[in-house]
Structure 1
């Protein structure tokens, strides 16, 4: 235990405190009555199992003492391997602890369960990760801007504050509660959403994205229904979908006129992609889409195209399919990662028809030094500005220089 004088009047001018590596400590000191404390970091206190009333008040009671942690703005707990319970502090909301707390971070506390503080009126950011046993409601935080919860914990959202701008969550419970909350409250400030690792069947309210959304990332959510909007969504500029949205067979992005970056990975059932009349899309990355065979009307503004492990689409590019080639022949940078069983020379033949600079990326090539050297010479002669060779197998770098 810490001595009684920690947290008493002699330390009333203390503004920052970090307790780290106190491995034999089993009770945290009484710090709630330090009036000037603004930053508190606690980590690797391996024997602590409970944070109880004494953390807030010297004697664990409420008599003749001020609101606990009246000035604290930043509170973090990291690597508390035995911490199991954060005891609630019973009081009226006007006397609730942490009235000025803006940032709450809890990470790698695998045994923590039970409840978190119920009301944090000044909270702007909460980050929780690696707390597998935590299954409580999140604190009510009316002005929160950033919410990040990832790992296997099953915490729940009670509502969706209108002030929320940045949201990153994963797991069935949280993603379900997000979509449920969005049916009741349409966020007006939400600009970033990342959801991941959800197997539930869920869809966006009204088959539409939040109107303020600028960046949407969906990972490993196979049953999420991607909204096929009928109205334009002008705010969205970044979109990533990976191993998700199994019901999605075609993707037409005409409703996203300001989309700048699109990344599609491991969409097993996607067969066609259309980006028509876009004036903004400049970076398109497609990988692991085995059924994708058609790209329709890629815009003239596109500058970077990456294609990887899309067998049908790759064949169409190599053969200069008239349904595909006119859409990509203007692009400044085309990357195709070719594995050792893939074809190489058709990509070099394609490079002859491109009017602008091309980056050709060769990955995992099982070829002799002389063959790779010949490739480098051919690329040099064809005027390709940049050749990137990565993870070459059984090759001597000394033989790779062009004449």
Structure 2
């Protein structure tokens, strides 16, 4: 098979090693994965004569016998390689830290590389070649489960680096001068940064008289419990913070358009007043997995540009925030898995002229659009009620939703009939009723069901009972 030029191995997790003799396929141009084994036929030196391109994943680096095999692989000559994934087996404790460091140092790829991922590396430092400015095409770096690494290379020197993910670098305490580099500017192209489960990270600072992160638009911080302060990030648009409520008090960036808050560590019971309202450009606010969040002490009246508001897995949230009435630009509201949510007063809609979509999904106790509604609501286009098992009847005020176009009701087993007012919704073009009671299905049967006259004008209908 000397003429073979492409080998792709899918789902390789169960493989102990790749086929022997790959090094003899000198016409090979693409190889998706190479697993280093203990014997000579599976050593990394098999890659010596292969002029590989595209993506390559090298696993089993804990089986490297000596540095001569690594050097013989000639990774630095493979100029067509665009993506490289290097990984060691987790728990490779018998290998010395020096062996880890020497292996990675001598596996240096060609400077044409565009993406690199390093997994389960247990050296205390990364090699200098990782931050060499010669890597003018390197745009994405992932470092994961490198628990013993204490220092990061000056990645800020890389001129094309756009995406950086750091996951489980447990020993890194500080992000400062060393990862920025000694120039006047750093991370000049970086647009996305993810700091995930860095348990000892305490500081992230930008050196004085230093221009950094001037293009950073997406930032995710997840389970970094000791990090309580952020630097000024002038163009940050999308901020996702998970289980790190203390960091919220240091938010300076006023350019944020999308903010996602998560707290599955049960520390967040109240959102500090004024915290969110300081973000005048905020368009999307998502509050997720805050199981102890009961109420929202937020000055929502400051969010004049907010367009989408979501509450997901806030299981103790009982009532929607009163400040909703101040959100004149709000277009979408979603409640998902809010088990304690009891009602959503219809009167709220009277002060929301821009609201287009209202969704209740898997909220077991909710009574949507309860109470009276004064006047006609001419903005709401979509109403979705999914898996609200306690819902027995729909509100009569639904007839006042004059612009409603799409109405979805799924998984409401106690709902047995439709209100008379639904027949007045002349704009309604889509009605979906699924996984509700057989009684409701029978009442909606074409031509002969009791509720059929109320819905016969609707062009698209989906009526299903079975789960």
TM-score by length of 2: 0.62
Secondary structure of the 1:195 match is strand
Q: Tell me the alpha carbon deviations over residues 318-370 of structure 1, each in whole angstroms, 9 at most, x when there is no partner.
A: xx2xxx34533552222233433x122235x44333323353333334649xx
State how 1:317-396 maps to structure 2 within 5 Å.
Answer: 317=395, 320=396, 324-325=397-398, 327-328=400-401, 330-340=403-413, 342-347=414-419, 349-365=420-436, 367=438, 372=441, 375-377=444-446, 378=449, 382-383=455-456, 384-389=458-463, 392-393=466-467
- Which residue does the alignment assign to 2:311? 241
For residues 124 and 258 of structure 1, the distance between their equivalents in structure 2, rounded to whole angstroms, comes to: 28
Secondary structure of the 2:255 match is coil
Secondary structure of the 2:384 match is strand
Deviation at 1:86, TM superposition (A): 2.3
Secondary structure of the 2:249 match is helix
Correspondence 1:255 to 2:326: yes
Deviation at 1:253, TM superposition (A): 3.3
Q: Is the 8 A contact 1:335 1:360 kept in 2?
A: yes
Q: Is the 8 A contact 1:294 1:313 kept in 2?
A: no
- Which residue does the alignment assign to 1:101? 161
Q: Is the 8 A contact 1:42 1:76 kept in 2?
A: yes
For residues 220 and 465 of structure 2, the distance between their equivalents in structure 1, rounded to whole angstroms, comes to: 35
For residues 156 and 288 of structure 2, the distance between their equivalents in structure 1, rounded to whole angstroms, comes to: 38
Choose which of 362, 366, 370 in structure 2 pairs with 1:290: 366
For residues 173 and 235 of structure 2, the distance between their equivalents in structure 1, rounded to whole angstroms, comes to: 23
Deviation at 1:96, TM superposition (A): 6.7
Question: Relative contact order, CA 8 A, sep 6+: which one is greater?
Answer: 1
Q: Tell me the alpha carbon deviations over residues 4-33 of structure 1, each in whole angstroms, 9 at most, x when there is no partner.
A: 648999649677440345658944522798
For residues 281 and 161 of structure 2, the distance between their equivalents in structure 1, rounded to whole angstroms, comes to: 27
Distance 1:361 1:241, change over 3 A: same
Deviation at 1:195, TM superposition (A): 0.8
Distance 1:33 1:253, change over 3 A: same
Correspondence 1:303 to 2:365: no
**Structure 2 unmatched runs, 5+:** 1-63, 93-98, 181-185, 207-211
159-168 or 286-295: bigger deviation: 286-295
Q: Is the 8 A contact 1:290 1:309 kept in 2?
A: no
Q: Tell me the alpha carbon deviations over residues 214-238 of structure 1, each in whole angstroms, 9 at most, x when there is no partner.
A: 111111331573523445x332111
For residues 330 and 213 of structure 1, the distance between their equivalents in structure 2, rounded to whole angstroms, comes to: 27
Choose which of 130, 139, 142 in structure 1 pairs with 2:213: 142
For residues 310 and 365 of structure 1, the distance between their equivalents in structure 2, rounded to whole angstroms, comes to: 10
Choose which of 184, 200, 208 in structure 1 pairs with 2:277: 208
- Which residue does the alignment assign to 2:142? 77
Q: RMSD across aligned C-alpha pairs, in angstroms?
A: 4.2
Count, aligned residues: 358
Q: Is the 8 A contact 1:31 1:69 kept in 2?
A: no
Deviation at 1:311, TM superposition (A): 8.1
25-34 or 214-223: bigger deviation: 25-34
- Which residue does the alignment assign to 2:117? 42
Q: Tell me the alpha carbon deviations over residues 88-132 of structure 1, each in whole angstroms, 9 at most, x when there is no partner.
A: 158xx8x9754653320245x5x7443465344213211244x47
Q: Is the 8 A contact 2:388 2:412 kept in 1?
A: no
Q: Is the 8 A contact 2:295 2:319 kept in 1?
A: no
For residues 326 and 89 of structure 1, the distance between their equivalents in structure 2, rounded to whole angstroms, comes to: 62
**Structure 1 unmatched runs, 5+:** 59-65, 394-403
Secondary structure of the 1:352 match is helix
Secondary structure of the 1:29 match is helix
Secondary structure of the 1:85 match is coil
For residues 252 and 192 of structure 1, the distance between their equivalents in structure 2, rounded to whole angstroms, comes to: 19
Q: Is the 8 A contact 1:277 1:299 kept in 2?
A: no
- Which residue does the alignment assign to 1:281? 355
Deviation at 1:153, TM superposition (A): 4.8
- Which residue does the alignment assign to 1:63? none
Q: Is the 8 A contact 1:31 1:56 kept in 2?
A: no
State how 1:133-282 maps to structure 2 within 5 Å.
Answer: 133=199, 135-138=201-204, 140=206, 141-143=212-214, 144-150=216-222, 152-154=223-225, 156=227, 157-171=229-243, 173=244, 175-177=245-247, 179-182=248-251, 185=252, 187-197=253-263, 199-200=267-268, 201-205=270-274, 208-221=277-290, 222=293, 225-231=296-302, 233-244=303-314, 246=317, 248=319, 250-265=321-336, 266=338, 268=341, 272=345, 274-276=348-350, 278-282=352-356
Deviation at 1:305, TM superposition (A): 1.4
For residues 99 and 31 of structure 1, the distance between their equivalents in structure 2, rounded to whole angstroms, comes to: 23
For residues 9 and 249 of structure 1, the distance between their equivalents in structure 2, rounded to whole angstroms, comes to: 58
Choose which of 141, 147, 151 in structure 2 pairs with 1:88: 151
Secondary structure of the 1:276 match is helix
Secondary structure of the 2:298 match is coil
